[in-house]
Structure formats: structure tokens, C-alpha cells
Amino acid sequence: MITGLFPATSGECIIYGHPLSTELEKARESIGFCPQHNILFSELTVAEHLRLFEKIKGINPTSESIQKRANDVGIGDKLDTLSGQLSGGMKRKLSIAIALCGDTKFVLFDEPTSGLGEYIVEILRNRR
């Protein structure tokens, strides 16, 4: 419901001053979402994923911004690797990087891998 995929039956959620009931699109500009299961395109590279999701979030990505986003989560050396060839941990890191695309200020993680919990906290701390 917080992402706006399902309507709330009651109550209200306000994300950075934008009520979901009336300003969903504006609220979504600040939301990043990392689902429980990696939703990746096996035929796209790490860089292509990041470029695609930056564009979806309204950002015009540069080579430098893509490199930085990948470096932030520890996959900077995998930019040209197809996601289908990544290990499970690397796929999870790519999913985290995708959730951080755009002007994300509020990130929802649906059951993040327990082994990456502290890693996620550290990534978010370093973004400030």
C-alpha cells in the first residue's frame, strides 16, 4: 500500500509531505522499492539495469553516475556483466542499487536478505 500498488482501505500515508491518496506520483519520486525476490532482466548488464531505472525515475544517467551507483553497493567491477551471470549476492546488490536510483529518500525493503541487513544500513549511511 505504501508504494501505491494497492489502495489503502483506510488511513493515510504521507511521504515527504505528499499524501498517497492525492499525490501518489509526487510521493513516488522519493520512494525506492527493493522487493523480496530480485526482479532483474537476465539479458541486461548491470550498467543497462542502472541506466534503465535511472531513466524511469526521471534521471538522465551518465557513465560516472552509473559507475558511482554500482560502486556504492560493491559491484562497480561488474558493469558489463549480464545480470543472469551474477551470483545471488551480486544480484541482491544490484536490486539494492536499483532501489536507490533517482532522488530516492525513502526505501522499502521487502524482507532483505539477513546477511545484507547491516550492509544495507551502511550503504544508506554513506548516501547522506
Q: With a cut of 80, say whether residue 121 has pLDDT above it.
A: no
Average pLDDT, the chain: 87
CATH number of the domain within which 122 lies: 3.40.50.300
Does any domain span residue 78?
yes
Does any domain span residue 1?
no
Predicted pLDDT of residue 115:
55
Q: With a cut of 80, say whether residue 111 has pLDDT above it.
A: no
Full-model pTM = 0.82
Predicted pLDDT of residue 75:
95
What does the DSSP assignment read for the chain?
Answer: -TTSSS--SS---EETTEETTT-HHHHHTTEEEE-SS----TTSBHHHHHHHHHHHTT----HHHHHHHHHHTT-GGGTTSBGGGS-HHHHHHHHHHHHT-SS--EEEESS--GGGHHHHHHHHHHH-
Kindly report, residue by residue over 5-22, the tens digit of the pLDDT. 888 888 898 999 999 889
| Count of domains forming the chain | 1
Structural domain range at position 93:
14-127
Does any domain span residue 7?
no
Does any domain span residue 41?
yes
